[in-house]
Structure 1
Amino acid sequence: MTVHEYRGTFPDTGDLKARFRPLFDRIAEGAIRRERERTLPFEEIEWLKQAGFTALRVPVEYGGLGVSLTQLFDLLIDLAEADTNIAQALRGHFALVEDRLVAPRAEGEVWLKRFGAGEIAGNGWTEIGSVKIGDTITKVFPEGEGFRVEGEKYYSTGSIFADWIDTYATRADTGASVIAIVRTAQPGVERRDDWSGFGQKLTGTGTTIYTAATVEPEGLVPFETRFRYQTAFYQLVVNSVLAGAALAAVRDVSELVAKRTRGFSHGAGTLPRHDPQVLQVVGRARAFAFAARAATLEAARVAQRAYETSQAGDKAADDQANIDAELASAAAQISGAELALRATTDVFNALSASATDEKLAFDRHWRNVRTAASHNPLIYKERILGDHAVNGTEPIYVWQIGAIAS
C-alpha cells in the first residue's frame, strides 16, 4: 500500500463527528457524578469499544475505521471535552495500535484484528522508587514457546480497563529492551487503582504487578522496532486532553453565567450574561481553548506525515518527518499547556465564590490540566525547541526517568 493510496481511504470528518457526538454527550452527562464519587469509567469505555471508537486507526479490512492521525486527535479532543479522564485512559491503547499499524503487516496483523474486534490495551512503562535512569527492573524470561514477565510498574494509565498491557521490559537472557504485550485476564497480572494525583483521577492510573505473567510469542516485540514518532504521538494525546479540558471549562462557565441572576453593585449593573467584562472573560477563555485545539491539530497533521514516510521507504524523508513531528508536538505541548492553564484559571473571574462549590466540580478542569501538563516537563521541551532553532540540534525521541546517583 503506497502513501498515495492510503491518503484516499480516509472517511469524512463530518460523518465521524456526527457518529460519535451523541456518545460523547452521553459520556459528558455523567462526568461530574463520576468525579465526585470516584467512579472509574468502565461502562463508558465499553460504550466506546462497542461504537468502534477504539478502532479508529485500525484499517477497515480489520474491522476499524481507518482514520488519519488528524482525525484521530480531532475526535480525541471531542472526547476529552466530554471527559478528559477517558481520553487519557486510552493513551496507551492508541499508541500500541499505531505501533502495530506501522509494523510490517505480517507482524501487526494479529493485533490489528484484535483491536478491530474491540480489544484494547493499557500502558506499563514507568517504574518508580530506586530504579536508575536507563535501568528496567521488569524482566522477561523465555519459557517454553513463550515468555513470562516479572516486575512492577506505576503510572499504568488505562491498564485497569484493558485486555492487554503494552509493557516495557528487559530480556533476562540477552539484556535487550523489549515490549511485552501482556494479556490482563490471567492470575499473574494484578492491577491497582492507587493513583493519588489531584487531577485525572479516573484514568485507571496506578500500579501493575507481574508475577509469572505469560506472554505469547507474538506478544514480544524488540523495542528498537517501535514506531519512531511515538514520543510525539504520546504527547499529542496529552495535548488533546489539555485542549479538551479548556473547551469543557468554556462550555461549563458559559452555562453557569447564562443562569446567574446575582450581580455586584460595583459591576455593570446588569445580569451577568449581559455584563461586558464577564463576557470578555468567557470570550478570551474561548479563544485560548480554540488555539490549544488548533495547535494540537496542526501537530497531528505533521505526525500524519511521519506515518506516511514510515510506509514509503525513503529514509531521508522519514528522518525529517520524525524531526518535524517531535518539534511540532513539543511546540503544541508548550503552547497548549499555557493556553489551557490560562483558560481554566481565568474562567473563575466570570463567576463568584459559588463557583467553588464542590457539587459543581468546576475545579476539575484546572486540576486535570495542571496534572496533564506535568507530563514530559515543559521546561525540557522548551530547551529542546530552542536548541534546535539556534543550533540545529536534533530532538530527543525517547527519554527515561529514574534515580540519579548523587
Structure 2
Amino acid sequence: MTSAPSTTARPVGFSAARELLLPLFAEIQAGAVERELEHRLPREEVRKLAAAGFGALRVPTEFGGSGLTFPEFTELLIELAAADSNLPQIFRGHIALVEDQLVAAPSDRRTAWLERFVAGEIVGNAWSEVGSGALGVSGTVVTERAGRYVVNGRKFYTTGSIYADWTDATARLVVEGQPDTEVTVLVRTNQLGVTIADDWDGFGQQLTGTGTIVFEDAVVDADQLHPFTDRFRYQTALYQHVLIAVHAGIAAAVERDAGEQIRARTRVYTHGLAPLVKDDGQIQAVVGEISSIAFVAKQTVLGVAAAIERASETAADRDSADDLQANIEAEIRSAQAQVVLSELVPRAATLLFNTLGASAVSRTSALDRHWRNARTVASHNPVIYKTRIVGDWSINGTPPPFVWAVGTAKPQ
C-alpha cells in the first residue's frame, strides 16, 4: 500500500495536535462497533490518521513534525485507544521505528525517514515467526542475488503491516564466506514478492491486521538493512508501552460506555435502590471502581511514558551509566505497569456488565469487545515472566533483559 505524500501543514505542539485529532478520534469512535461487528478493517481510518500527522507527532518541528514529548504523545495514544483500541496497536511498529530514527545519529537516511513520516508513510511490524524454528534464529533470510538484496521468509503477528507502506522485519543476513548476522530490514509492502493476509484469528484486537506476511524474493534496498544490535535500546519497553496505553484507553472506554448506558436506562428491578438506575447506589459503587481503574491506568501509563522519555534523552550517550540506568527504569516501569493493568483492565471490562441488565450482552452492542480486547492485549509478552523479572530486580537489583526471542529450544 502506498500513500501519496501529504501536503497538510503539521500541527506544532500538544494543544494544536490534540485540537486537530480529537474530531477524527470522535469519528473513529462512532464507527468502532460497526467495524467490529462487520470485521471491517479500518483502512480508511488509518489513512486519515496518517494524513492528519498522527505518525509524525514525535518528529521534531524542524523536519515538519509536531515535536511532542513522549508523555504528550502518550496522552493522544490513550485517547485514540479509547476511541478504538485496534488503532494504537496498528501503529505500534511505526511508533517504534520513529523512535529508532529519533535517537539515530544525523544522516541522510535518518532525514529521509523523518520526511517519510511527515509525508504520511506508515510502517508495520514483521518480527515474529511461528512453527518449530530455532530459538533466537530467524527463519527469514536476506541474501544478495544479481547485485541486489532479496528477502525470503514467512512472518506472523505482523501487526499493522496490512495497512502500511513498509514493514519492519527481522531476518538473518546470509553472505557466503561470512557468519550469518541478525538484521532488521525495511521492506516496501506494495511490491511483487510481498503477500499480506488478514488471517489473525484472535478473539480480541481483531482488526489490527496481525496476520501473515510471506516474502518471496522481495527486493530490499541496501540502506534499509541494518544489524539488529544497532536498534534503540529501549525498544522492548516501548513496544510494551503501546500495549499498556491500549489498556488505559480500554479502561476509559469502559467508563464512558458504562455512563452512557446507565444514564439511558429507564427499566429498573423491584429490588433495586432507586427509581432510576443512574441514582442506584449499588450501581454507582460499581462505576466508581471502574472509574478508579481508568484513572490509575492512565496515570500509570503516563509514568511509564516519563521513564521512556528519560531513556530517549540518554540514547545519544549509549552504554553510559546514565543510559543503562534510564533503560533499566523504562523496562522495569513498563513491566510493572503490565503486571498491574493486565489484571485491572479486564476486571473493569467485566464490572461493566454488573451495572447493566441482560440486554448488555447483546452482540449488536459489542460491549464484550472491551474484555476480549483487554484480555488479548494482556496475553502479549507473557506477564508471568515479567513478574519474575520485576521481583528479581526488586530483591537483587538484577537488570532486566532488553531483548528476548521465541522459538524451539535446543535439547539439553
Sort the Cα spacing of 1:19 and 1:306 in 2 relative to 1 into closer, same or farther, 3 A.
same
Shift of 1:279: 1.1
Q: Which residue in the other structure is 2:76 paired with?
A: 75
CA displacement 1:111-164 (0-9 Å, x = unmatched): 111111110100000000111211211001123554110000000000000000
Q: Which residue in the other structure is 2:131 paired with?
A: 129
Q: Which residue in the other structure is 2:409 paired with?
A: 404
Q: What amino acid is aligned across from residue 172 of structure 1 in structure 2?
A: V
The answer (yes or no) to whether the contact 2:82–2:253 under 8 Å persists in 1 is: yes
Q: Which deviates the most, 202-211 or 268-277?
A: 268-277
Q: Which residue in the other structure is 2:153 paired with?
A: 151
- For structure 2, the 5+ residue unaligned runs are 1-10
The answer (yes or no) to whether the contact 2:12–2:61 under 8 Å persists in 1 is: no
Helix, strand or coil for the counterpart of 1:22? helix
Sort the Cα spacing of 1:158 and 1:169 in 2 relative to 1 into closer, same or farther, 3 A.
same
Give the Cα separation in 2 of the matches to 1:243 and 1:30. 20
Q: Which residues in structure 2 correspond to 1:115-264 (within 5 Å)?
A: 115-144=117-146, 146-173=148-175, 174-264=179-269
Q: Which residue in the other structure is 1:96 paired with?
A: 97
Helix, strand or coil for the counterpart of 1:264? coil
Shift of 1:315: 0.9
- State the TM-score, normalizing by the size of structure 1: 0.95
Q: Which deviates the most, 33-42 or 49-58?
A: 49-58
Q: What amino acid is aligned across from residue 117 of structure 1 in structure 2?
A: A
Q: Which residue in the other structure is 1:50 paired with?
A: 51
Shift of 1:172: 1.2
Q: Residue 326 of structure 2 is aligned with which of 314, 321, 328?
A: 321
Shift of 1:57: 1.2
Helix, strand or coil for the counterpart of 1:137? coil
Q: Which deviates the most, 267-276 or 148-157?
A: 267-276
Q: Which residue in the other structure is 1:303 paired with?
A: 308
Q: Which residue in the other structure is 1:282 paired with?
A: 287
Q: Which residue in the other structure is 2:23 paired with?
A: 22
Helix, strand or coil for the counterpart of 2:294? helix
Residue 61 (structure 1) aligned with residue 66 (structure 2) = no
Shift of 1:209: 0.2
Give the Cα separation in 1 of the matches to 2:226 and 2:118. 20
Shift of 1:237: 0.3
Q: Which deviates the most, 287-296 or 313-322?
A: 313-322
Give the Cα separation in 1 of the matches to 2:124 and 2:247. 20
CA displacement 1:167-195 (0-9 Å, x = unmatched): 00010113111001000110110000000
Give the Cα separation in 2 of the matches to 1:145 and 1:105. 28
Q: What amino acid is aligned across from residue 40 of structure 1 in structure 2?
A: L
Q: Which residue in the other structure is 1:335 paired with?
A: 340
Q: How many residues in Structure 1 have an aligned counterpart in Structure 2?
A: 397
Q: Which deviates the most, 270-279 or 35-44?
A: 270-279
The answer (yes or no) to whether the contact 1:296–1:336 under 8 Å persists in 2 is: no
Shift of 1:332: 1.2
Identity %, equivalent residues: 48
CA displacement 1:256-315 (0-9 Å, x = unmatched): 000111111111142101101101111210110110111011001010000000124671
Helix, strand or coil for the counterpart of 1:152? strand
Sort the Cα spacing of 1:96 and 1:12 in 2 relative to 1 into closer, same or farther, 3 A.
closer
Q: Which deviates the most, 203-212 or 312-321?
A: 312-321
CA displacement 1:332-352 (0-9 Å, x = unmatched): 111222221111111110001
Give the Cα separation in 1 of the matches to 2:274 and 2:77. 41
CA displacement 1:355-375 (0-9 Å, x = unmatched): 000000000000000000101
Shift of 1:12: 4.3
Which aligned segments of 4 or more residues in structure 1 are displaced greater than 6 angstroms? none
Q: What amino acid is aligned across from residue 133 of structure 1 in structure 2?
A: L
Q: RMSD across aligned C-alpha pairs, in angstroms?
A: 1.4
Q: Which deviates the most, 314-323 or 185-194?
A: 314-323
The answer (yes or no) to whether the contact 1:305–1:321 under 8 Å persists in 2 is: yes
Helix, strand or coil for the counterpart of 2:209? coil
Give the Cα separation in 2 of the matches to 1:127 and 1:160. 16
Sort the Cα spacing of 1:341 and 1:316 in 2 relative to 1 into closer, same or farther, 3 A.
same
Give the Cα separation in 2 of the matches to 1:35 and 1:67. 31
Helix, strand or coil for the counterpart of 1:39? coil
Sort the Cα spacing of 1:14 and 1:276 in 2 relative to 1 into closer, same or farther, 3 A.
farther
Sort the Cα spacing of 1:282 and 1:60 in 2 relative to 1 into closer, same or farther, 3 A.
same
Give the Cα separation in 2 of the matches to 1:145 and 1:64. 36
Shift of 1:218: 1.3
Sort the Cα spacing of 1:49 and 1:317 in 2 relative to 1 into closer, same or farther, 3 A.
same
Q: Which deviates the most, 170-179 or 26-35?
A: 170-179
The answer (yes or no) to whether the contact 1:97–1:112 under 8 Å persists in 2 is: yes
Give the Cα separation in 2 of the matches to 1:12 and 1:116. 15
Give the Cα separation in 2 of the matches to 1:269 and 1:122. 51
